[in-house]
A and B are shown apart, each in its own frame.
Chain A
């Protein structure tokens, strides 16, 4: 397997995983309405990224769709149920929210670094197609990072000083 294929595989996995994480966070934090709605919008971006990567890889003779994400989606509904409902009225979900936002940020950062590697490798290999995929998708990954960073910045003061 060449290096580009390695990165494509890792990034495809990472975008799928981030989409799942965003969807799970949206489900866990229904009472945090902005987080809930925007996370679902941004999960759509990651799903689209994964699709574009799979399409690009297929043209390079690589099938990415056989590489499943790590998070089992079967666990998600149970997690969601647990965190919504009665807990909406308690402060502890604030800590859970900060932890989830941190994980989303780290996931997006990992993807961002893989986009960077892919862009560099594609240029070095004089690939005609991949740079267009990167320039369409990587900016949105950076926006996912800025979103989680903004939320952590805005929510931390109240959550961490009211425990």
Chain B
């Protein structure tokens, strides 16, 4: 049936129920701007979504040389035609009138327009001066998870072998570093073990700190469709907020922040105690099991209950689901990655699958998720603190192999220490040893923790800051040179989603003004710097996206992320393909580790591993003695209390996170009217019990304070765990009077004014979900409500207490396919959600009184 659905009010659209082991039915979602009929679309240009990591395949509608809408690709393995709200509406930001259309340079303290030659000359002059006077360690690059593969690979080459600096990392450090590190710790190498198709086959799905309904809404549609069909899976959800996932789950655990390792150790304790362990798998494929057994021996549910503030019986119920599943799929995201003991906790999820033998079969898998659309490419291309192709910086033969691919002396590639992570780069800039920082496609003046510190680092006179972006972001306003970049739909390239699916994204329209693709900017810089290989030839031997892709294939050959079986032609006009894809496996590889643990051998592994508490690096000798045959490594970890805990002055725990309708610092989503209207301003979530105790009400203007700083927002009372506050991290200052930070007439509203500078010592991922905070009333709401969506984890505690989030006629999107009319037409889904919510609310009140 064809229908139009308000995809702001009903973000996941209508249901297409299906049974276990059946293919997920197709449902094609379309949104065209008002006045454009399908018949008037002149071209449909293939792309994939760029506002989250799901990799939803879509076509861009082009009318008279401009974008006019999008449509899901029915034949793609990832989304089967579906699109999420950000996919449907986010593209409109491309045509914003405030796009950067020419370079800017700082003159007499002000950013003023100039031509490309002027801007690039200034960058090249500073680069040469620093190289001569201070050496390559004075130059750093801070990139993103939103460029294309070809751009990261070019950047990695020019930074690591052209400049020769160890300082290249991505904002993927904030989103996916722990996923990468956890995979290296357990499997010796990065590489997503599972596949989205595991959602079709699993009989139990465990989501650890993963609000999939808002971060990968299309895969949540798949889960909802499974739940509506025969033989549905049981869900276990670990999340302190009442997310849609939590309300739908068979077992919901809402632990105290920073206690994930304690909870996971108790779950492992129960699995081992009840001997729901695959001893044959452990013997054949792993090392380290005995150490895990002894480490979790004392970690009973009762022990964890006291630490996590979760009922021991509930932990037992969760262990029962995990332990009795016949095909278990686990997914992990920021609730683990951005929380205390991040890698240690993510590794325990891997351990759960290793001891249960739940890997490499349909429905039995792990998805260590990504946040950003192209974060996987930042990782594999070596733009994020790894070497390209998952090569091991501690292994001289890997470095020599990379030097061969690049035709440079191995000494050119810094490998005396690990590539510098982003937080350390900002520290070096603060100390003055990094003097030039090239930031592209990211907005650290809003997204890094402790913003007053970050602003002061970026504002230093001695630090030359280059910002390459679409808009004059908060960070760009502090730059010395601003370069206008083209974006998705305005350039061609490939990118890879969280389940290793590679998509081609073609150019649909011209970029505005003089804006250029990031690839062209990097190629121009390499040419102006005259980077050479060891024979005197040009270091960068490619000139456009396709030739860059071909070069990357040579770098990836024989590595886990092998792209050699892919071409632009093979990716055009059909579904995306999962790497590794070689001549022998031309249709790609659905799951890793189906037979053996392929990439953990000492000679091939990407990392020799780290201490899960201290982050201290192991060396080749230690690795070889621990794991001579290259098996999966079961690494145990003890619980450590978080570094900042509530006290009398700061009695709450504070966590930050995203909402369904926005991406990062809203540079695109706030410029898409439907998305912006759904969540136009920052808010603060508090539990009903805490609001009542403090005499606060929905809509009150409150201030959240931590030892770093404060922010103001309106209060939303929800079913969040008592003692916990939540603030969305999307809101900065570019759309306020002050511009780049709080100022006269602009109160602080960025969540990161309050967050702590602390990171996981293993993955170096900042901990945005561990802070102590105070809450106070600024001004009564007098009947106002918080500008928070009602459709998501931010739903009000009392259903109907505030107006529902809707998009109206401007948010109507088409749905074509075998959707369930009954559920599609009515509000059944919402009503179900409300009932669940009220039940849970009652439970929490009872829990409090005990």
Contact = CB atoms under 8 A, between A and B. Distances in A.
B interface secondary structure, majority: loop
B761 A146 contact: no
A91 B616 contact: no
A162 B138 contact: yes
Interface in A111-163: 143-144, 146-147, 149-150, 153-154, 156-159, 161-162
B611 interface: yes
A147 B615 contact: yes
Given A38-B761, A157-B416, A143 B643 contact: no
Interface stretch (A9-17, A26-34, A66-74, A76-84): A26-34
B615 A91 contact: no
Interface band, chain B: 20 to 34
For A88, A89, A144, the residue with the greatest tally of chain B CB atoms inside 10 Å of its CB is: A89
Interface of A: 31-34, 37-38, 40-42, 88-91, 93-94, 143-144, 146-147, 149-150, 153-154, 156-159, 161-162
A37 B617 contact: no
B444 to A, nearest CB: 15
Contacts of A93: 431
Contacts of A154: 417-418
For B166, B614, B618, B757, the residue with the greatest tally of chain A CB atoms inside 10 Å of its CB is: B614
B643 A37 contact: yes
B433 A38 contact: no
Nearest to A145: B616
B400 interface: no
Nearest to B340: A37
B417 A157 contact: yes
A147 B613 CA distance: 10
Contacts of A91: 431-433
A interface secondary structure, majority: helix
B137 A42 contact: no
Contacts of A158: 137, 420, 428, 433
Given A41-B640, A154-B417, A161 B137 contact: yes
B471 interface: no
Contact of B432 (A42, A89, A147, A150): A89
Nearest to A41: B640
Nearest to B644: A37
A153 to B, nearest CB: 6
A42 B418 CA distance: 23
A157 B137 contact: yes
B427 A42 contact: no
B142 interface: no
20 contacts: A31-B430, A33-B423, A34-B759, A34-B761, A37-B761, A38-B615, A41-B643, A90-B431, A91-B431, A93-B431, A143-B611, A144-B614, A146-B617, A150-B616, A153-B617, A161-B137, A162-B135, A162-B137, A162-B432, A162-B433
B758 interface: yes
A143 B137 contact: no
Given A31-B430, A88-B430, A157 B166 contact: yes
A88 B615 CA distance: 24
B134 interface: yes
A41 B637 CA distance: 14
B799 to A, nearest CB: 42
A93 B423 CA distance: 18
Interface of B: 134-135, 137-138, 166, 414, 416-418, 420, 423-424, 427-428, 430-433, 611, 613-618, 640, 643, 757-759, 761, 764
Contacts of A88: 430-431
A41 B613 contact: yes
B744 to A, nearest CB: 26
Contacts of A40: 643
Contacts of A38: 613-615, 761
A147 B758 contact: no
Contacts of B138: 162
Given A34-B424, A41-B613, 4 more contacts: A33-B758, A88-B431, A153-B617, A162-B135
B430 A149 contact: no
B134 A162 contact: yes
Contacts of B764: 34
A143 B427 contact: no
A146 B433 contact: no
A159 B138 CA distance: 11
A159 B137 CA distance: 10
A148 B718 CA distance: 45
Q: Which 3 A-B pairs have the closest CB atoms?
A: A162-B433, A146-B616, A147-B614
A157 B138 CA distance: 12
A33 B431 CA distance: 13
Contact of B757 (A33, A89, A144): A33
B616 A143 contact: yes
B166 A42 contact: no
Given A37-B643, A143-B613, A31 B432 contact: no
Contact of B611 (A89, A146, A157, A161): A146
Nearest to B764: A34
A162 B432 CA distance: 9
Nearest to A162: B433
For A32, A34, A88, the residue with the greatest tally of chain B CB atoms inside 10 Å of its CB is: A34
Contacts of A37: 643, 758, 761
B258 to A, nearest CB: 12
Given A40-B643, A146-B611, A157-B166, A94 B418 contact: no
B109 to A, nearest CB: 21
A42 B416 contact: no
A31 B433 CA distance: 15
A98 to B, nearest CB: 13
A31 B166 CA distance: 21
A161 B131 CA distance: 12
A51 to B, nearest CB: 17
A91 B431 CA distance: 5
B611 A147 contact: yes
A99 B420 CA distance: 21
